[in-house]
Amino acid sequence: MSFLLIGKKIGMTQVFDENNHLLPVTVLEAGPCPVTQLKTVANDGYNAVQIGYGPQKESRLSQQQLGHLKKAGVDAVRILQEFLLEGEDSYDLGQTLTVDKFEAGEKVDVVGVSKGQGFQGVVKRHGFSGGPASHGSMTHRRGGSYGFCQDPGHVIKGKKMPGHMGSRRRTVQNLRIVKIDTERNLILVKGSLPGANGSLITVRPSKKRKKAAA
């Protein structure tokens, strides 16, 4: 099944399952997401569905954007995203996608943007152990030797060095859905997710299912 929902991360909490086990879960608010465009091979070269998320003031959208949404009979939205159609999946223009497409116990992939950490050194960014802590060593948190003197005379590409940390698109795979609240458009998944509370996420059925233990 090809399906995707846009939403936001609410935060973490804990719930008891049917076996009275305490589970750490992340609460996601996913949807409702109206279908704003249906793309076909004839018109666009591929089959896909474009969906929207988040109410937006019409004054903040261009006339072209408003015309695009009104053609689908959809109110102004803040985010647009699409997913490819696979097999015989079909959707209707203006249809609203909600969390009832998922079921408790199902495995999903969640895509988000990790928290930005700014410019960091090699100890925090890559987990280096650092140098001697004694007085006078002068190499407490340095990365050590980076390059070569004469040949080849430059730093090898991919060398672990200080730099920008975080703010990267990350996908967490095979998260189990613990509970679904259709009235409030909430999904509770076991485990943690990238990003701060309130950040945008996308939820989709898992693409890489874990093999069952023999």
Question: Which tens digits make up the pLDDT trace of 160-187?
Answer: 999 999 999 999 999 999 999 999 999 9
pLDDT higher than threshold 80 for residue 210: no
For residue range 89-113, what is the model confidence (pLDDT) as tens digits?
788 898 999 999 899 989 999 999 9
Residue 146 shares a structural domain with residue 180? no
Q: What pLDDT does residue 29 have?
A: 94
Residue 69 shares a structural domain with residue 31? yes
Q: What pLDDT does residue 1 have?
A: 59
Residue 79 shares a structural domain with residue 155? no
Q: What pLDDT does residue 149 have?
A: 82
The domain in which residue 42 lies consists of 5-117+170-205
Domain presence at residue 212: no
Length of the chain: 214
Decide: residue 147, CB within 10 A, 0-12 exposed, 13-18 middle, 19+ buried: exposed
For residue range 105-139, what is the model confidence (pLDDT) as tens digits?
899 999 999 999 999 999 999 999 989 999 999 88
Contact between 164 and 177 under an 8 Å Cβ cutoff? The reply is: no
Between CA 117 and CA 167 the distance in angstroms is: 8
Residue 59 shares a structural domain with residue 158? no
Between CA 183 and CA 31 the distance in angstroms is: 11
Domain presence at residue 213: no
For residue range 21-62, what is the model confidence (pLDDT) as tens digits?
899 999 999 989 999 999 988 998 999 999 999 999 999 999
Residue 99 shares a structural domain with residue 30? yes
Domain presence at residue 154: yes
Between CA 114 and CA 120 the distance in angstroms is: 15
Decide: residue 1, CB within 10 A, 0-12 exposed, 13-18 middle, 19+ buried: exposed
Encode 148-166: b = buried (16+ Cβ within 10 Å), e = exposed. eeeeeeeeeeeeeebeebe
